[in-house]
Structure 1
């Protein structure tokens, strides 16, 4: 084949390829034609897009009261600080110092004090990102970034503070030395219960997160000690699942972190769990402290973040709870329980499960006999 024929073949092939792509280019070309039919170059289009994205921003807002000034003003007044941040100024600064040890730092855009105040204000009420944007007069991006930054370090605090003080449970708590409880509950090490925290989920997840109160929730299992501190928490389960299913995951998947009761020790559990060694459940069909249940506000939800972030927020709030409790400072809400050992929060009667999986016969017989002995002993004492 001579050069001429080869050139013609190549030209023909190129022409064919060009014609086949003409139709696919028509749409792009039409986007680059103005009303007068003139063509815009791709460079001009890219410049226009760059200008729209980076150069045509709204003017920087100058807040009348900068966020840091608002936070500092609240910190200067104990009552205002407690209302806005759910803790005293002294405790606020202790928490800030603790989070700094984990890596919380100020930036050119926002100080760490303002970021922490923003976070506590949002999770304490709760407040949305839009409300925070209006309150702190910051961009949505700045609000989001600072919230996530503080959340990261509070979750680090959770890993340290949500655990038993004594992993061997060797000492009997002073509350149990009260003649009202001793000797029947000398070996009790705490309580386990589930609670439902309202969450916001996508439509395709609504059914599995719908609890018996017809709201979307997460079923959260928690262990607590007699100092009202969380010692273990398992989050992330949708609200439709039974408490026992969450409990089983704690026993299996998280067995290395779950604070198991030593031999002869036991937790108090509610009717959603079986009565078996290590876990003392109430008699079926019996309500306890019924006169003490009272009407009150239900636990509120959390900001509308993706589910995995909402899970982290739940853990963070429990860590803040423990931090407040462990501070040794007077807290008006904890004081209600400290002054009255019979006090039962209104939330205690919510979302109790209807049925409980039965334990093995041998396990049930052992713990049923123990439960019966406690009931008889308490009854005889009351005579």
Structure 2
């Protein structure tokens, strides 16, 4: 016991090192800020004020992180814009690689890796609570405006959104591992979303493991119940969805010229949801396989996806430019064809218009 006490007595106690906090907005140009954080200065300041009540430190003890630093760390972690596809996300990306990136994010803002990990969760929760910009059109005015914009695309009337699912790669969870293995062979969560003609997310359903079929996710959503009850208009979905009176899918094996023309118009109108997913994953590389995998438990990964969708909508509201959509392949081919069933009368009337 005496030896142990002596060892503790002579052990050197290292002093705590407080690194200088770096306010990147003070020295970066506006273009560099958008390239690094995907948000403009205006957007970062808006988020800072929006979540201040939830993220402001209680005191200045121990050199606490201010809200702006927390927002910057969160946004940069999502974008992974420092050569992420090359240096930080090789094809065999592992969790330690992602942790090294957390260290790089911390170095850029003068904080430790552990502080990066802690503030990510705090900011994710705060944004989810306070940023409510994913809204499905329900008023007569909003529905009419949405239908008019979709009609201008290819002449299909009564459309209020395009629906699809996308896979977000995650690390293998500790429980129910096989349910998260998607049809591509990796662990993922399946995210269902509805998009309007301007690539804005109007509904996001983030609660399903990667093995879930898109049709199953839709049939168990509150959106499906809303559409079936209120019948505000039609969603357009691919052949992986069931044909319903409120969900219009393309014609399987089209034979006539009208059916071919309808399928073409359906594809041109519905493509907005695939473009939105592509833009989302290009902006926030943490959601794309080129950025590795989300190194969190599934529930937290789903929170991250919802936050990224909200930030995507915020970027559209602020008209923040982004020119790299073409760099990302969303890698989401249609699932097995769903039987068309008996709900074909409405679609036949649509086909007759072409």
**1:193 shift after superposition:** 0.5
Q: What residue in structure 1 maps to residue 134 of structure 2?
A: 162
**1:237 shift after superposition:** 1.3
Q: What residue in structure 1 maps to residue 242 of structure 2?
A: 274
The TM-score with structure 2 as length reference comes to 0.73
2:313 is aligned with 1:332: no
Q: What residue in structure 2 maps to residue 240 of structure 1?
A: 211
Q: What residue in structure 1 maps to residue 37 of structure 2?
A: 85
* Residue 150 of structure 2, aligned match among 156, 161, 176: 176
Distance 1:312 1:70 in 2: 26
**1:333 shift after superposition:** 4.4
2:50 is aligned with 1:98: yes
Q: What residue in structure 1 maps to residue 104 of structure 2?
A: 131
Q: What residue in structure 2 maps to residue 143 of structure 1?
A: 116
Distance 2:158 2:327 in 1: 24
Q: What residue in structure 2 maps to residue 317 of structure 1?
A: 308
* Residue 74 of structure 2, aligned match among 119, 125, 145: 119
**1:164 shift after superposition:** 2.2
User: Which residues of 2 match residues 1-383 of structure 1 at below 5 A?
Assistant: 58-63=14-19, 66-74=20-28, 77-100=29-52, 103-106=54-57, 108=60, 109-125=64-80, 128-158=101-131, 160-168=132-140, 169-173=142-146, 174-176=148-150, 178=152, 181-182=154-155, 185-202=156-173, 205-251=176-222, 262-263=230-231, 265-284=233-252, 300-301=291-292, 303-327=294-318, 329-333=319-323, 347=329, 350-356=332-338, 358=339, 360-361=341-342, 364-373=343-352, 377-378=353-354
**1:155 shift after superposition:** 0.8
Residues 270-296 of structure 1 show CA distances to partners (whole Å, capped at 9, x for unaligned) of 111011100011122578669x99999
Distance 1:56 1:273 in 2: 65
Q: CA 1:175–1:352 in structure 2 vs 1: closer, same or farther (change >3 Å)? A: same
Distance 2:292 2:219 in 1: 26
Equivalent pair of 1:200/1:216 in contact (CA under 8 Å): yes
| Relative contact order, higher structure (CA 8 A, sep 6+) | 2
Give the secondary structure class of the aligned counterpart of 1:274.
Answer: coil
Give the secondary structure class of the aligned counterpart of 1:162.
Answer: coil
C-alpha RMSD over aligned residues: 3.7
The TM-score with structure 1 as length reference comes to 0.68
Q: Across the two proteins, how many residue pairs are aligned to each other? A: 306
**1:124 shift after superposition:** 1.3
Structure 1 stretches of 5 or more lacking a match?
1-31, 35-39, 337-343, 379-383
